[in-house]
Amino acid sequence: MNTEALQVNIALDAAAQEKEKREAILKVIDTYRDKPGCLIAVLHLAQEIYGYLPLEVQQIIADGMGESLSHVSGVVSFYSYFSTRPRARLEIKICMGTACYVRGGKRIVERLEEELGISVGETTPDGKFSIIITRCLGACGLAPVVMIGEDVHQQVNPDKIEKILAKY
């Protein structure tokens, strides 16, 4: 197969996947449309389907749920779980709850940004890591805490960051 034909096939596959995702989101909306207070559930499911919540997806949800786009976008931007940009394969969550913050959470964030060359909320160019701030991971006695994927790293300090990242 020549390069041009391969590119056409890739584009067709991407378009088919987009259509499937949109149809899946519309099914979720149909399930919850007439149930008051279900916007967050719809957003969660849509993010699972799509991977994130770009403005186009938020508009589909707003239209389907009978809400304004500004309301949907406000909910998306309020909750840190929701993302309007694609996230990486591994999310690095740094706890900035009181215990973690006072024990050096801010220095850990700065070191991660330096090591990865990205800022909080961004994804590395290779799509491997995103840096996310959380308010509490519920492990105050182990502070400061960093979570990568499902792995919890306790009593982290900036000098441990390079070694921790090397595992991934």
Alpha carbon distance 59, 69 (integer Å): 6
**For 109-159, what is each residue's pLDDT tens digit?**
999 999 999 999 889 999 999 999 998 888 999 999 999 988 999 999 999
* Single-letter amino acid code for the residue at 116: L
Q: What is the pLDDT of residue 59?
A: 97
Going along the chain from its start, the domains and CATH numbers come out as 3-78 (no CATH), 90-166 (3.40.30.10)
pTM of the model: 0.62
Give which of 142, 143, 123 is closest to 132, Cα–Cα: 123
Cis ω for the linkage preceding 54 (within 30 of 0): no
